[in-house]
Amino acid sequence: MEGAPQLRVAQAGTTPTPDAAATAGRRRVGLGVLSLLLGMVLGVLDQVIVGTALPTMVGELGGLSLMPWVITAYGLATAVTTPLWGKLGDLYGRRRTFIGAIALFLIGSMAAGLAQDMTQLIAFRAFQGLGAGGLMVGAFALVGDLVPNPADRIKVQSVIGAVIPVALVGGPLLGGVLTEHVGWRWAFYVNVPVGAVALAAAAAGIPAAARSAKQRIDYAGVALLTTVVVALTLLAGWAGSQYAWGSWQIAGLAAVAALALVALVRVERRAAEPILPPRLFHSRDFNVAQVLGLLLAAGMLAVMVHLPLYMQSVRDVSPTVSGLMLLPFMGGMIAAQLIAARVVLRTGRIRALVLTGSATAAVGLALLTLLDTGTATALAAGMGVVAGFGIGMVLQSTLVVTFGSADRRDIGVASGLLNLFRAIGGSLGMALLGSIYAAASQDTLTQRLGAEAGRALSQSSEHLTPETLAHLPAEALAAFRSAVVDGLHSVMLGGFVLAAAGFAAAWLLRPRMAPPAGAPGKPPTEAA
């Protein structure tokens, strides 16, 4: 019966309708790709969307000193679960784990939007990060299940890769717009409708791939890695601020991190399927690339969090405008990534590229120490271009080095480790630089107002939003803005040191990497 209308259409001399099964297959693939794109957007967006919302967020909830942990908790949870999600996908099915990651992320988003204090917000951001790790891993891993044809797979991967810079650029601006017009909580609530579409598209479009019964999860490795990262992050955030460097708390954290690291190395050498395969770390280039990614990711987040704080607290601009003021920094990053990819393809000169990028990043971060209470807003924004360009060049180069140093069988694992070390760098960097910021700003308040008045203003600033700053007495407002500037200077000097360390590490890279066969400007035989 179903074929009768098709027969009459054919007899009438018209073109038969496309095969229903083929049409349904294309629709399914389209829905699957949509879910991957939206998942990647959500994971990347929430790394940066809170940057422009943080000043209002922490002022309302009370907890300026805890501000870095809103970023750190998310990055930390993402970092330690990234290796685990890949294994879970192989063991239980990538479709199921991707859907589970979206669900976790949405629950965390709703809870973060409902948070009533900073402790709750930080905890729910960590919960968000648990899901975000699965979104990042699943988006690329599922492409093979959706698109078996290699040529089409490359196209889909390119589209997914293209949304990352769009999300990075648009995140701060979107966060500012939402904070200014509907409230900072919508920086989290906005994930819900987008995530709901991703969830429905994943359920309808991603096929249930076969599971691998041979996969083993390195639970001991995951536990030890988590212990190392958490202990180091707490040490970086607490040393010199919450506790003295020589205190038993800091000494204890250092001992825990060291012992867990030694145990991790031993466990990974013996594990059947380690989360940190030792064979990858036999390559010096691979190791250097991870160190560079760790160092420069910290510098990137330092700018993206503290520059909006400066813009809103010192330059008195709105959250939306502070998001716009980050565009030069983000634009510099994206431009550098495009240029770096072309340079490597044409010349293979990877060490010179990384040296140039790390030196440029160091200079750019040093330039940001020239900002003061009277710097014009447009000039302050434009000064971020140099740092963004250098950071983008190094981060793109580490991607090339990582893939070029790994065997074909290890490309997926190597990619996960690159993201892992960047996330660890961001978490450690934000904790350390946030502690430096708090100490520097407190010193300035003490010097300007005296110990008692400075301490009182510091405590009251825990609940100061950019809108309520105008109600401070003139002397207190001037002191507060000077404290923000001095804190910013300390953070950027810290970023400069990290970039300089990256410059020193870059000398350990080999001078050239062979461009892929057929790369522009190279004969196929030479490129090979």
For residue range 428-438, list pLDDT tens digits in order.
888 888 888 88
Tally of CB atoms within 10 A around 118? 21
- Given a cut of 50, whether residue 5 has pLDDT beyond it is no
Please give the pLDDT value at position 310.
87
pTM: predicted TM-score of the whole model, two decimal places? 0.79
Q: In this predicted structure, which of 4-18, 42-56, 230-244 has the lowest mean pLDDT?
A: 4-18
Domain map of the chain by residue range?
A: 26-215, 219-271
Quote the tokens at residue 123.
Answer: 């905890």
CATH number at 26-215: 1.20.1250.20
Query: How many whole angstroms separate alpha carbon 480 and alpha carbon 162?
Result: 40
pLDDT, tens digit, 9 for 90 and up, residues 271-327: 887 888 888 888 888 899 999 988 998 888 888 888 888 888 888 888 888 888 888
Residue 524 has pLDDT above 50, yes or no: no
Q: What is the mean pLDDT of residues 431-447?
A: 85
**More confident site: 25 or 388:** 388
What per-residue confidence (pLDDT) applies to 24? 66
Question: pLDDT band at 205, cuts 50/70/90?
Answer: confident
Q: What pLDDT score does 193 carry? A: 93
Answer whether 435's CB lies under 8 Å from 238's CB. Answer: yes
Tens of pLDDT along 312-346?
888 888 888 888 888 899 888 888 888 887 887 78
Which has more pLDDT, 148 or 115?
115
Please return the burial class of 295, using the count of CB atoms within 10 Å of its CB with bins 0-12, 13-18 and 19+: buried
- Alpha-carbon gap, residue 455 to 445, rounded angstroms: 7
Separation CA 291–CA 279 (nearest Å): 17
Integer Rg of the chain from CA: 25
- Alpha-helical regions (H) of 314-410: 319-325, 327-347, 350-367, 377-382, 384-405
Report whether 401 contacts 289 (CB < 8 A).
Answer: yes
The confidence band for 461, taking pLDDT boundaries of 50, 70 and 90, is low
Crossing angle, helix 94-113 and helix 20-48, to 10 degrees? 40
**Nearest to 300, CA basis, from 423, 197, 198, 199:** 423
Nearest to 441 by CA among 69, 67, 119, 62: 67
Half-sphere exposure for 368 (CA within 13 Å, toward CB): 35
Residue 262 CB neighbours (<10 A) = 12
Distance between CA 411 and CA 497 in Å, rounded? 31
C-alpha–C-alpha distance, residues 227 and 258, integer Å: 10
